[in-house]
Amino acid sequence: MNSSSQVDGVSFITKTLLGEYQDILSISCDRFDEDTNQTIGRAQGRKSHLDNLFKVRDWCQKYKVAFKINSVINTFNVDEDMRENITELNPVRWKVFQCLLIDGENSLREAENFAISDQHFQVFLEMHSSISCLVPEANQKMRFLDCREGRKDPSKSILDVGVEEAIQFSGFDEKMFLKRGGKYVWSKADMRLEW
Asked whether residue 122 is assigned to any structural domain, the reply reads: yes
pLDDT tens digits, residue range 97-149?
A: 998 776 655 554 566 788 899 999 999 999 999 999 999 988 766 554 444 44
63-102 pLDDT, tens digit each: 888 999 999 999 989 999 999 999 999 999 999 999 877 6
Instruction: List C-alpha distances in Å: 45 to 16, 29, 35, 133.
Output: 23, 16, 12, 30
C-alpha angle 45-41-143 in degrees, rounded to nearest 5: 145
Question: How many structural domains is the chain composed of?
Answer: 1
The residue segments making up the domain with residue 139 are: 4-144+180-191
Q: 114: exposed, middle or buried (C-beta count within 10 Å: 0-12, 13-18, 19+)?
A: buried
- Whether residue 105 lies inside any domain: the answer is yes
Q: Is residue 166 part of a domain?
A: no
Residue 100, domain member (yes or no): yes
CATH number for 20: 3.20.20.70
Phi-psi region of 180 (alpha: psi -120 to 50; beta: other; left: phi over 0): alpha
* Statement: residue 3 has pLDDT above 50: no
Residue 59 predicted with pLDDT over 80: yes
Decide if 161 is inside a domain. no
Quote the DSSP letter at residue 96.
Answer: E
